[in-house]
Amino acid sequence: MKKTAIVGTGSYLPEHIMTNFDIEKFLDTSDEWIYTRTGIKERRIADKGQATSDLCKVACERAMDMAGVKAADIDLIILATITPDTHCPAGSNWLEAKLGCDNAVSFDVTAACSGFLFALHVADKFIKAGANKNVLVVAGEIMSRVVNWKERESCILWGDGAGAAVVTESDEGAQVLSTHIHTDGAAGDTLLMPGGGSKTTPISHESVDKGLHFLKMIEANKSFKVAVNRFAEASEEAAAASGYTIGDMDVIIPHQANLRILQGVAKKLGVPIEKIYMTIEKYGNISSATVPIALDEAVRNGTIRKESLVLLTAFGGGLTWGSSLIRW
């Protein structure tokens, strides 16, 4: 069977930093209140002229540079996002044009915070099937444009950014040992954007006034418990699929949802919190992009070294969850 490897990673965070103290200026909250409940100190916010594909373009170029591949070498682009430039054409189509990947086919994957792992799963299967050779797997979000900045409980969580990986058929590089994805559509209404789809068409003053086009979190406490359990299940599934235990993992990179969730995952898995790679404090929750951003950061700062056993895991709206085990 063909082997799949990650041969380059890249990420991009917008320059503008919004701290909790900045939020204090327009919302009845405090740095202490936000940090105690989320573990977040600051998040990045895209400039007005930036679209999701712009963030993704930089992340992809950095990944391609590390991999030593050119735009002409890419034959598939899979973009995970819930905040594309437009819904038609797909966000990946805009990205393909900006990168100049004229030989590539491109499409979007919508799996909320689990999006990068869903996209990686698709890339792995396409490569193993012989359909593609060099795939850009990228996740990018501008969450700051789909949250209600008057809702104290939820707007404090989100940030903007993009992360990418070049995934190719190769016996060298970081070997993708397994990928696993799951969904539970019956429970999908716990995190949703009610407006913008065929259910509320056409968009009206009423739908806008009701805030139906903002992302909404429902039953947060219930979601917390489900998230911890799904994170743990997916992690154990990936480890067992390749004959390992959670204790064998060198680095665990989960979706950066909330510090308390990450602490709960570490406790559930029985691993020291030091094994959990975290970026939540400085970047917040960037939905599908948190995993590849953290992965790229860990690769570049030396946390992930040659032969490291790296576990990626995520849980998100849909409901969606998944994992991947990689031998670096």
Catalytic residue among 113, 121, 132, 155: 113
Indicate if 255 belongs to the active site: yes
Q: How many CB atoms lie within 10 A of CB 57?
A: 21
Indicate if 56 belongs to the active site: no
74 contacts 99 by C-beta, under 8 angstroms? yes
Indicate if 113 belongs to the active site: yes
Indicate which residues carry an active-site annotation: 113, 255, 285
